[in-house]
């Protein structure tokens, strides 16, 4: 396998009882028992201590035997290559053994197989040459704890959305933005979540698990805990809160009766790759998303010299939404669809504009292969009901696929075929990175509990494999992968994504007219991109005058991202000017100083300031400043003080020179300034 840029082959070293694995931007250390003892990312150690198992056996705290002989440990390198390393290890108490198998990938992903079993008897004990102390193999609980440096962990993201319950009984209720935000100051608990990330604006660690098979939680709302201590924040994974259901029979005979139990989960440390020096990757117009056009794209773009208008407004990438394809998401194109795509690509390429068509997470009943494959590849709930069913024109219904099926191969090969035949410049993927919850046993999803009830799993590993294969295909052809996901940051797939498009979940509230201040904690956790390593654009559905593109621009600029225009009229007019302003400033050579990091002072706390700072070879500095009102009310006579000495100010939004940093700002509005 060829390791894709920016990654490099794994570097592994052993010193004493420890094994160190180095990945681009990160370093992991595995201790004598093969548990993770150190994680460094962005040059910072993020663990407050080694990961640990907390357990109780037959009413007593479990004590693990850690008396390792000199220069000898219970961990070993099972295998290593440029692409991955497998490090195994174990530890034991008086009654039980835990075996680990860590698979570390070149992109920083760690898959962990965690096996629990009874200790059993030695050969000497079996043959009566050594006495056997009577033991009760009763396990009261077993938890995994990850101690994190408190000062580094202020933000969280989870999928799917959920409420949280604090130790004091306070409930953090589920709402539109509760997927991400500030970690509560008190300890909180939440249900099993397949994706949970903790970190700050620069770094973090993500926990993932496809299902909670074999987990036993006394309270399903408290499967995972974030515990606040004086000097550390502890992520506690409550694997077992009671004796395993499958371990039946006499506790004293458990050594012979109880079979091993295995848990599967993993970690991915962020940022998953170096963040681009210039995160504004392209000037994209997304045609027909939110703002719908009549007729087909070919006729629409041919009218009124719209191809030339795209060029005139500075568009470098045209993204075609779903209706470019008669049979949604299918890869064998109809005659009309093929002619339309070829025509649009040819006309855009004449003007140096790239074209990226829509592909998504659904299979249409109009597809010619529906009858042959739908039972095998679609997502199903435990009651057999299909997920999805989106209605669209030409009249058809589209249902959610599961990438833990043969559809993943259809998907990759289909995009490869279209890139080769029609010379497209990449793909826009709708929902493909969002883990689906699937119980379809025909392709290996779903599992049965001790009562025979069917449960589902989240296809996290299958999605990761899909994006690895897709990345290879698209990058070999010089293409770009742009992904939209609804309220989910799948950090396990991010190494293979060029740009995310987030924010659709917010539009349900914003389009009605936002009467609240912007949830800045939410935006810093989920939308800045830098803590994950992948740039972000903001999705906008206008409903003027209640919610306007300019309002979204005010939020976006503040966080170092941009909204994506979805109509050739007003939004594109606005963004064309913003693109020109940003392009003229040397962003790639500048320091990004957002409102949470700089020392700017404002006369009103609802006015926030972020900026790029460029220092030339002579030491003179210039700033590209974004000032936003995060509240819905106009604020008058705003005064701003920067730590830099100012000699010249130009208001780029009005294209006028001003003498001081004082002005009025409307609700959810912004200003862009150039300052020397």
Provide the domain count of the chain: 3
Mean pLDDT of the 566-584 span: 96
Residue 347 is predicted with a pLDDT of 98
CA distances from 317 to 21, 148, 479 (A): 39, 41, 12
Are 313 and 243 in a shared domain? no
Tell me how far apart the alpha carbons of residues 376 and 398 are, in angstroms, rounded to a whole number: 15
Phi, psi torsion values for 465, nearest 5 degrees: -65, -40
Give yes or no: residues 223 and 311 share one domain: no
CB neighbours (10 Å) of residue 376?
Answer: 13
Residues 217 and 248 grouped into a single domain? yes
Q: Answer whether 642's CB lies under 8 Å from 648's CB.
A: no
Is the Cβ–Cβ distance between 458 and 211 less than 8 Å? yes
Could you tell me if 496 and 640 lie in one domain?
Answer: no
| CA 20 from centre of chain | 26
pLDDT interval class at 69 (50, 70, 90): low
Q: Which residues contact 363 (CB under 8 A, 6 or more apart)?
A: 329, 330, 370, 373, 374, 377, 378, 398, 399, 401, 407
Task: Please indicate, yes or no, whether residues 307 and 255 belong to a single structural domain of this protein.
Answer: no
Eight-class DSSP state of 279 = -
What pLDDT band is residue 508 in, cutting at 50, 70 and 90?
A: confident
In this predicted model, which residue has the larger pLDDT, 74 or 358? 358
Q: Confidence band (pLDDT; 50, 70, 90) for 528? A: very high
pLDDT at 514: 76
Please tell me whether residues 93 and 186 are part of one structural domain.
yes
CA distance 491 to 493: 5
pLDDT score of 71: 59
With respect to residue 198, please indicate whether it lies within any of the assigned structural domains: yes
CA distance 261 to 102: 17
Contacts of 171 (CB under 8 A, 6+ apart): 163, 164, 165
Within a domain: residue 452? no
Together in a domain, 293 and 225: no
The pLDDT tens digits for 151-172 are 999 999 999 999 999 999 999 9
Residues 534-550 pLDDT 10s: 999 999 999 989 899 99
Asked, for residue 560, whether it belongs to a domain, the answer is no
pLDDT tens digit sequence for 386-410:
999 999 989 999 999 999 999 999 9
| Residues 318 and 238 placed together within one structural domain of the fold | no
Domain co-membership, 207 together with 319: no
**Residue 413: pLDDT band with limits 50, 70, 90:** very high
Is residue 488 located within the same domain as residue 617?
Answer: no
Encoded tokens for 15? 């010193």
Within-domain flag for 533:
no
**For position 470, which CATH number holds?**
3.20.20.80
**Domain containing residue 257: CATH number:** 2.70.98.10
Give the CATH number for residue 615: 2.60.40.1180
Of 502, 525, 557, the position where a domain reaches its end is 502
Query: Are residue 188 and residue 45 in the same domain, yes or no?
Result: yes
In a domain, 656, yes or no: yes
Mean pLDDT of the region 582-602: 97
What local confidence, expressed as pLDDT, does residue 123 receive? 57
Mean pLDDT of all residues in 508-533: 92
On whether the CB atoms of residues 47 and 36 are closer than 8 A, the answer is yes
pLDDT band at 128 (very low <50, low <70, confident <90, very high): low
Rounded to the nearest 10°, the torsion over CA 640, 646, 650, 656 is 80
How is residue 271 written in tokens? 């940022």
Task: Give the least confident one: 84-88, 111-115, 267-271, 502-506.
Answer: 502-506
Answer yes or no: do 100 and 153 share one domain.
yes
Q: d(Cα 165, Cα 217) in Å, to the nearest integer?
A: 15
Res. 132: pLDDT tops 70: no
pTM of the complete model: 0.96
Q: Which of 449, 484, 502 is the last residue of a domain?
A: 502
Strands 536-538 and 499-502: parallel
Average pLDDT score over residue span 648-656:
95
Is the pLDDT score of 126 beyond 80? no
51 assigned to some structural domain: yes
CA distance 379 to 432: 13
Q: Percent of the chain scored above 70 by pLDDT?
A: 97
Domain boundary residue among 231, 247, 270?
Answer: 270
> Does residue 569 surpass a pLDDT of 80?
yes
For 445, residues 6+ apart whose C-beta sits below 8 A from its C-beta are: 402, 404, 438, 439, 456, 457, 459
Q: Give me the domain span that covers residue 175.
A: 11-62+71-270
On whether residue 303 sits in a domain, the answer given is yes
Task: Tell me the DSSP string of 57-126.
Answer: ETTEE------PPTT--S-EEEEE-SSEEEEEEEEE-SSEEEEEEEEEETTSEEEEEEEEEE----HHHH
Instruction: Please check whether residue 632 is in contact with residue 517, taking contact to mean a CB–CB distance below 8 angstroms.
Output: yes
Q: Please provide the average confidence, as pLDDT, over all residues in the chain.
A: 95
Give the integer Cα–Cα distance in Å for 286 and 316: 11
Other Cβ atoms closer than 10 A to 17: 18
Q: What pLDDT does 348 receive?
A: 98
Q: What is the spatial order of strands in the sheet that 164-166 belongs to?
A: 60-61, 52-57, 139-149, 232-240, 224-228, 188-190, 164-166, 171-172
Degrees to nearest 5, angle at CA 520 with 515 and 521:
125
Percentage of residues in the chain with pLDDT exceeding 90? 90
In a domain? residue 378: no
């Amino acid at each position: 396998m060829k390791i894709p840029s920016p990654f490099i082959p794994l570097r592994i070293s052993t010193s004493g009882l420890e094994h160190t694995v180095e990945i681009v931007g990160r370093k992991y250390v595995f201790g004598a028992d093969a548990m993770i003892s150190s994680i460094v990312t962005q040059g910072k150690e993020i663990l407050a201590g080694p990961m640990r198992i907390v357990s109780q056996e037959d009413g007593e705290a479990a004590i693990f035997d850690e008396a390792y002989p000199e220069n000898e440990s219970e961990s070993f390198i099972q295998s290593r290559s440029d692409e991955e390393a497998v490090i195994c290890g174990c530890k034991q108490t008086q009654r039980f053994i835990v075996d680990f198998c860590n698979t570390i990938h070149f992109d920083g992903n760690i898959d962990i197989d965690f096996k629990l079993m009874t200790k059993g008897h030695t050969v000497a004990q079996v043959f009566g040459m050594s006495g056997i102390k009577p033991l009760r193999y009763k396990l009261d609980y077993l938890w995994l704890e990850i101690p994190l440096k408190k000062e580094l962990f202020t933000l969280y993201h989870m999928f799917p959305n959920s409420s949280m319950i604090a130790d004091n009984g306070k409930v953090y209720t589920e709402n539109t933005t509760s997927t991400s935000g500030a970690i509560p100051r008190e300890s909180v608990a939440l249900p099993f979540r397949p994706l949970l990330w903790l970190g700050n604006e620069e770094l973090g660690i993500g926990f993932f698990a496809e299902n909670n098979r074999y987990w036993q939680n006394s309270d399903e709302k408290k499967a995972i805990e974030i515990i606040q201590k004086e000097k550390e924040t502890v992520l506690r994974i409550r694997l077992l809160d009671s004796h395993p259901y499958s371990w039946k029979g006499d506790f004293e005979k458990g050594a012979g009766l109880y079979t091993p139990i295995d848990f599967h989960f993993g970690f991915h440390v962020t940022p998953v790759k170096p963040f681009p020096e210039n995160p504004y990757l392209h000037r994209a117009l997304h045609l027909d998303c939110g703002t719908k056009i009549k007729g087909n794209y070919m006729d629409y773009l041919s009218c009124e010299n719209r191809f030339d208008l795209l060029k005139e407004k500075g568009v470098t990438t045209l993204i075609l939404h779903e209706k470019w394809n008669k049979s949604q998401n299918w890869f064998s194109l109809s005659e009309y669809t093929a002619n339309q795509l070829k025509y649009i690509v040819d006309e855009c390429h004449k003007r140096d504009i790239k074209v990226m068509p829509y592909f998504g997470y659904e299979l249409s009943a109009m597809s010619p292969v529906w009858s042959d494959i739908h039972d095998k590849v679609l997502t199903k709930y435990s009651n057999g009901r299909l997920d999805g069913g989106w209605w669209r024109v030409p009249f058809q219904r589209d249902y959610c696929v599961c990438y833990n099926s043969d559809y993943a191969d259809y998907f990759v090969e289909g995009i490869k075929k279209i890139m080769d035949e029609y010379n497209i410049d990449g793909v826009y993927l709708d929902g493909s990175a969002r883990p689906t919850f699937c119980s379809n046993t025909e392709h290996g999803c779903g599992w049965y509990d001790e009562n025979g009830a069917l449960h589902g799993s989240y296809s996290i590993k299958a999605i990761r494999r899909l994006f690895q294969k897709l990345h290879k295909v698209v990058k070999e052809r010089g293409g770009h992968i742009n992904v939209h996901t609804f309220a989910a940051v799948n950090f396990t797939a991010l190494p293979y994504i060029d740009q995310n498009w987030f924010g659709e979940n917010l539009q349900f509230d914003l389009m009605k007219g936002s009467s609240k201040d912007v949830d800045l904690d939410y935006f810093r956790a989920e939308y800045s991109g830098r803590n994950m390593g992948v740039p972000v654009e903001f999705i906008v559905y206008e409903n003027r005058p209640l919610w306007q593109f300019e309002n979204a621009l005010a939020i976006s600029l503040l966080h170092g991202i941009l909204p994506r225009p979805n109509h050739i009229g007003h939004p594109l007019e606005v963004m064309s000017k913003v693109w020109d302003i940003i392009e003229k400033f040397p962003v790639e050579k500048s320091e990004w100083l957002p409102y949470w990091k700089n020392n700017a002072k404002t006369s009103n706390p609802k006015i926030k300031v972020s900026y790029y700072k460029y220092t030339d070879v002579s030491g003179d500095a210039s700033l590209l400043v974004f000032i936003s009102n995060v509240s819905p009310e106009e604020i008058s006579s705003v005064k701003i003080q920067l730590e830099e000495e100012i000699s010249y100010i130009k208001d780029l939004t009005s294209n006028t020179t001003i003498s001081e940093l004082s002005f009025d700002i409307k609700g959810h509005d912004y200003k862009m300034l150039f300052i020397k």
